[in-house]
Chain A
Amino acid sequence: DAGITQSPRYKITETGRQVTLMCHQTWSHSYMFWYRQDLGHGLRLIYYSAAADITDKGEVPDGYVVSRSKTENFPLTLESATRSQTSVYFCASRKQANTEAFFGQGTRLTVV
Chain B
Amino acid sequence: DAKTTQPPSMDCAEGRAANLPCNHSTISGNEYVYWYRQIHSQGPQYIIHGLKNNETNEMASLIITEDRKSSTLILPHATLRDTAVYYCIVRVPSGGNEKLTFGTGTRLTIIP
Residues of chain A whose beta carbon lies under 8 Å from any beta carbon of chain B: 31, 33, 35, 40-45, 48, 50, 58-59, 90, 92, 94, 97-106
Which residue in A59, A98, A103, A106 is a CB contact (below 8 Å) of B93?
A: A98
Complex-state Cα separation, A97 to B103, whole angstroms: 20
Given contacts A42-B104, A42-B105, 17 further A-B contacts (CB under 8 A): A40-B104, A41-B104, A43-B44, A45-B100, A45-B101, A58-B99, A59-B101, A90-B43, A92-B43, A94-B98, A97-B95, A101-B100, A103-B43, A104-B43, A106-B41, A106-B42, A106-B43
Alpha-carbon gap, A31 to B42, bound state (A): 20
Minimum CB distance partner of B43 in chain A: A103
Chain B contacts for A106, CB-based, 8 A: 41-43
* Chain B interface residues (CB < 8 Å from chain A): 32, 34, 36, 41-46, 49, 87, 93-95, 98-105
Closest to B44 in A: A103
Chain B, residue nearest A98 (CB): B93
Residues of B within 8 A of A58 (CB): 99
Q: Are B95 and A100 in contact (CB under 8 A)?
A: no
Q: Which residues of B contact A101 (CB under 8 A)?
A: 36, 44, 46, 100
Nearest CB in chain B to that of A44: its residue: B102
Chain B hits for A44, CB < 8 A: 102
Interface contact B46-A50, CB-CB below 8 Å: no
A to B CB contacts below 8 Å, 24 in the list = A31-B98, A33-B100, A40-B104, A42-B102, A42-B104, A43-B44, A43-B87, A45-B99, A48-B98, A50-B98, A58-B99, A90-B43, A97-B93, A97-B94, A97-B95, A97-B98, A98-B93, A98-B94, A100-B34, A100-B46, A101-B100, A103-B45, A104-B43, A106-B43
Across-interface contacts of A42 in B (CB, < 8 A) = 87, 102-105
When C-beta atoms are compared, the residue in chain B nearest to A35 turns out to be B102
Q: Known contacts A33-B100, A48-B99; is A105 also within 8 Å of B43 by CB?
A: yes
Set of chain A residues within 8 Å of B41, measured between Cβ atoms: 106
- Measured in the bound complex, the distance between the Cα atoms of B32 and A78 in whole Å is 33
Known: A48-B99, A59-B101. A105 touches B46 (CB 8 A): no
- Which residues of A lie under 8 Å from residue B104 when comparing CB positions? 40-42
